[in-house]
Structure formats: C-alpha cells, structure tokens
Structure 1
Amino acid sequence: MIDVMVDICLDHQACDHRARFEEAVRRCPEVRECLLVTHDMSYRLRVQAHGLESFETLRRTLAERLPGMKRMCTTFVLRDVLKERA
C-alpha cells in the first residue's frame, strides 16, 4: 500500500464550490484525509493506493469525480517518521 499526498487547487474559492468539492471527497473511500490549507493550493488529500498503477487509475478517477479542480500535484510518501515512534 502506498500513501500519496495530493494537493488540489480549485478554480474558484467561493463557499458553494468548496462545499461541492468537499462533499465529493467524502464519497471517495481512497481519500484518508482532506485538509483545507493556505498557500497556493486549496486542499491537501492523503490517499492510499495498492501501487503506482492503482494510483494512476485513482488519479484519473479523482480528476473526473472532484468538481472544480484547476490543478493537481502529487507527492509520494516514502516514510512516516512519526509513525515509527509508536
């Protein structure tokens, strides 16, 4: 299983656009975390996939399912440092 951080920039920041996006995210079981963030991006998602091919399929699915996306950037998690202290 791989974890991927997906940064999303919405094309509009109006409340109704954010609400539609957030509702769509709630219907995506692969999304484990959804954070509204500051800076250039609007949201940071943590998603899980079974591998690279699985993530590529998921990425296309997210692009189709999540309304109002202007840009999507992905970062693969190599290791969760804080998880190791448990």
Structure 2
Amino acid sequence: MTTITVDRHDLAILNELQRDGQLTNSTLGERIHLSTSQVGRRVQRLEEAGVIDHYAAVLDPLVVGLDVMAFVQVTLDRHGETRGEVFEQAVADLPEVLECFSVTGEADYIVRVISHDLNSFSKFMMDGLLRIPGVTNVKSNISLKKVKQVTILPLDHLAQPKLSKQRVQFSA
C-alpha cells in the first residue's frame, strides 16, 4: 500500500480537475493561488501516485444516439473463483457494458448497460450476456430518466479542520 500526503492545495487541484480535466497548470495556479510550476509538480505527483487515474471526455449518451440505459442484476449458477473470472472477463469484452460490480444481496453482479434502442438491448441480452457460461438469472431495470449522474468524487473527508495535511492511503 502506498501512502501519499495531500494538503489543501492538492485537494483544491483534485476538485478543480474533477470539474474540468482540461485546465492548464496556469489556470489551476490562478484558481488555487500557486505558481504554474508548483501546480505542475503537484499534478505529476498525484498522477504518478495513482490518485489521478486518467483523464476523459464525458459524452452525452443521448446526443450520440444511445437512448437506453439499463441496470442488469446477474446471478451465476454457482459461486467460485473460476466461474466469476469467466463472467468478469466476458463482461469486460462487451462494449455495451459501462460498469460491472460484484455485489452482495440477491444478485452476484450489477451491470450498467447502454444501448441504441430496445431492439439492440434485447440483442445484447440474448446474444451477449445470457450466453456467458454460468449466467442463470438476469433482471433488467430500464432507466426512465437520469436524475443525477456525476463523476466528481466528494473529497471533504480528506480535509480536517485545523489541519493543513491529511494522509491518504491507497493501493498503487
């Protein structure tokens, strides 16, 4: 486990970059009151430590013609490392799958799926998900509307009042 120390400036950088990953170091410096070179060193350290995982453009699914969002609960026929690995690898290769989580409860996995329309979602289910070895039960919930979806993680727990530094531990 790697330990990295972050201070209020690092937290400010992380908050700003979560809102706009294209900010230049100069603009970041102006916003958080540090020099461009200081910001550059801090961003590089946060990237190298894995705190900043990657940068991406967030597309609007509706604008690019992906109208159906579904949350699919998947149950496997039996539990075990091999069965789960087969499922997880198969799901990783399906482009319609945006996220997949191993969960507790009634299902073994929850999968977030995006599709062009209901016909393509049906094809994905029949020819993709249901053909994965070990899948015995699926329950789908189609999203009717997006109420909230953010990519910004709350970081308030990292900042303690009256302390300028907080140690954050994570696996690299």
**Could you say whether these structures have the same fold, taking a TM-score greater than 0.5 normalized by the shorter chain as the test?**
yes
Tell me what 2:139 maps to.
73
Task: Give the unaligned 5+ runs of structure 2.
Answer: 1-66, 153-172
Task: Give the unaligned 5+ runs of structure 1.
Answer: none
SS for the counterpart of 1:21 is helix
Tell me what 1:11 maps to.
77
Looking at structure 2, the residues matched to 54 and 20 of structure 1 have their Cα atoms a distance apart, in angstroms, of 24
Within a 5 Å distance, the mapping from 1:3-82 to structure 2 comes to 3-61=69-127, 62-64=129-131, 66-82=132-148
Q: What is the deviation of 1:70?
A: 1.2
Under a length normalisation based on structure 1, what TM-score does the superposition of the two structures give? 0.90
> In the TM superposition, what whole-angstrom CA distance separates every residue of 1:14-46 from its partner, at most 9, and x where no partner exists?
111101110111110110000101011000000
Looking at structure 1, the residues matched to 71 and 148 of structure 2 have their Cα atoms a distance apart, in angstroms, of 16
State the percentage of identical aligned residues.
31
> Are the equivalent residues in 2 in contact too, given 1:24–1:67 (CA < 8 A)?
no
Highest Rg: 1 or 2?
Answer: 2
User: Which structure is higher in RCO with an 8 Å CA cutoff and minimum separation 6?
Assistant: 1
Greater share of strand: 1
Residue identity opposite 2:82 in structure 1: D
Under a length normalisation based on structure 2, what TM-score does the superposition of the two structures give? 0.47
